A = this chain, B = another copy of it.
Amino acid sequence: MKTRKTPDEILKTGAKPATSYHHGNLERGLIDRATEVIANQGVEHLTLRLLGEELGVSRSALYRHFPDKQTLLVRVAEEGFVRFGDALDAARASKSAEDVFVRMGRAYFDFARQNPGHYRVMFDTTVLKKANSAKVHAAAKRPLACLVDEVVKDTPETDKDRATLIETRVSGLWSLLHGYSMLAINGHLAGTSSSVAKSMVASVLYLLQGQRSSR
C-alpha cells in the first residue's frame, strides 16, 4: 500500500499532465536527477532548489520522500552499491575464456566510468559515515565481498600466514581498481586512450601474481 500507481503505470499513461498537482514519481526523479548533477558537477553543487526546479516541484517537496538531503545521498549510494554488486557478480559468473579477475576488473572500471555520480557518492568520505541505514551498509559490503571471495579461492591453502596474504592481495587489487577509477572519473588521466584502459585490466593479473609469489 505504498504507492497508488507504479512507476510503469505512470509512464504508460503519458506521465505528468501539465495540470498535475502530484509529480507522479518524485522519489525516483529526485534520485535520478541528483545522480546526474553529481556526475556532471560534483556533490557540492547539488542544491535542493535546483533539484526542485528541474523536476517542476517546490523545494520542500523532497522532505516527503527523504528526511533530509543527507539521506537522499545515502539512497544514491545504496542504489549504486547494489548495481555495482550486480555488475561484479555478473562478471564473475559469466563463462568466458578470460581470467575471472580480468572480467571483474573490466566490470569495475566500466561501472565507475559509466556511473561517475554513483561512484563518487559511494566512496565519498562523509556520506556513509553518518548513515544509519542498515541497508546501505549491507549493500556496500557486497561488491568488495565479490573480490574477496575470488581472491580467497585463488590463494593456495598451503601458504602459511594465508590470512595476511589474502589481505595483501585484496588491498592491492582494490587499490589499483579504485585508484584508476577515481583518477579517470576526475579527469586526472587526460590521455586515457582505450589501449591504456585495456592494459589496466591486464595489470590486475600481474599485480596479483607478484603478490602471491612475494613475501
Contacts and interface: CB of A to CB of B under 8 A. Distances in A.
Interface of A: 42, 44-45, 120, 123, 125-126, 164, 167-168, 171-172, 174-180, 182-183, 186, 188-189, 191-193, 195-196, 199-200, 202-203, 205-207, 209-211, 213-215
A44 B126 contact: yes
Contact of A183 (B126, B174, B203, B207): B174
A214 B207 CA distance: 12
Contact of A179 (B168, B177, B213): B177
A191 B178 CA distance: 18
Contacts of A211: 199, 203, 206
Residue picked from A177, A196, A215, most chain B C-beta under 10 Å: A196
7 contacts: A167-B193, A168-B196, A177-B179, A178-B179, A206-B210, A206-B214, A207-B207
Contact of A172 (B45, B178, B199): B199
Nearest to A144: B188
Given A167-B193, A178-B183, A203-B211, 5 more contacts: A171-B192, A171-B196, A175-B200, A182-B182, A203-B207
Contact of A164 (B180, B189, B195): B195
B207 A209 contact: no
Residue picked from A120, A192, A203, most chain B C-beta under 10 Å: A203
Contacts of A183: 171, 174-175, 178
